[in-house]
Amino acid sequence: IRELGNIHRHTVQCALIINMFNEKIYSILYWWFLVVAIISIGSLIYWLATSIFGRKARHIIVNYLYKVDPHSANNTRRKILVQQFLDESLKADGVFLLRLIALNAGDAVACELVDLTWNDFKRRHAMDLRTTPPGSRRSRTPASLSGRSAIIDYSS
């Protein structure tokens, strides 16, 4: 370091090597952030597309309803009720939340929530679609998650 008139002897570290390391670190961070941004934008487009088009939403909810109540998807009247359930009770934001819950907490939790909201929907519409006799208690564990094709009955 020079000052006019005086020459001082200072030990100064060369900054070129540190600058090269900083450049490499920031270039790696730049590419990492670019990859994360591209993946995030792709995920956003996917979620928007699946949320806007309701066909997949209906399919997801019907699958969950079939897991918790296999009789809910058999006849035409119940299919109309399932569509009413989607339109009045869940709506687009409820389906979105159920998909997020299924991805983060698993299908068992999502099936439990669908079962609770379905029973609430039936109660509000004064319709008992359950085919099990009164007094018998069936499990809310989805059978497809346990490897069986029917609801497991723990009442006996």
The residue behind tokens 């035409």 is: 76
**What pTM does this model have?**
0.56
What pLDDT does residue 24 have?
Answer: 94
Q: Are residues 71 and 143 in the same domain?
A: yes
Dist. CA 5–CA 111, nearest whole Å: 83
Q: Are residues 58 and 85 in the same domain?
A: yes
Yes or no: say if 134 and 148 are a contact pair by the CB < 8 Å rule: no
Yes or no: say if 155 and 136 are a contact pair by the CB < 8 Å rule: yes
Q: Are residues 48 and 63 in the same domain?
A: no
Q: Are residues 119 and 135 in the same domain?
A: yes
Q: Are residues 106 and 122 in the same domain?
A: yes
Each residue of 87-130: pLDDT tens digit? 888 888 888 888 889 989 998 999 999 989 988 888 887 654 44
Taking 70 as the pLDDT cut, the residues of the chain under it are 1-13, 15, 54, 72-75, 126-156
Dist. CA 63–CA 36, nearest whole Å: 32
Q: Are residues 8 and 30 in the same domain?
A: yes
Q: Are residues 60 and 29 in the same domain?
A: no
What pLDDT does residue 30 have?
Answer: 98
Residue 89 lies in a domain: yes
Q: Are residues 111 and 121 in the same domain?
A: yes
What pLDDT does residue 44 have?
Answer: 93
Q: Are residues 92 and 59 in the same domain?
A: yes
Yes or no: say if 90 and 126 are a contact pair by the CB < 8 Å rule: no
Q: Are residues 46 and 73 in the same domain?
A: no
Residue 101 lies in a domain: yes
Q: Are residues 4 and 15 in the same domain?
A: yes
Which domain, by its residues, includes 40?
1-52
- Tally the domains of the chain: 2
Yes or no: say if 34 and 112 are a contact pair by the CB < 8 Å rule: no
What pLDDT does residue 73 have?
Answer: 60
Dist. CA 64–CA 113, nearest whole Å: 9
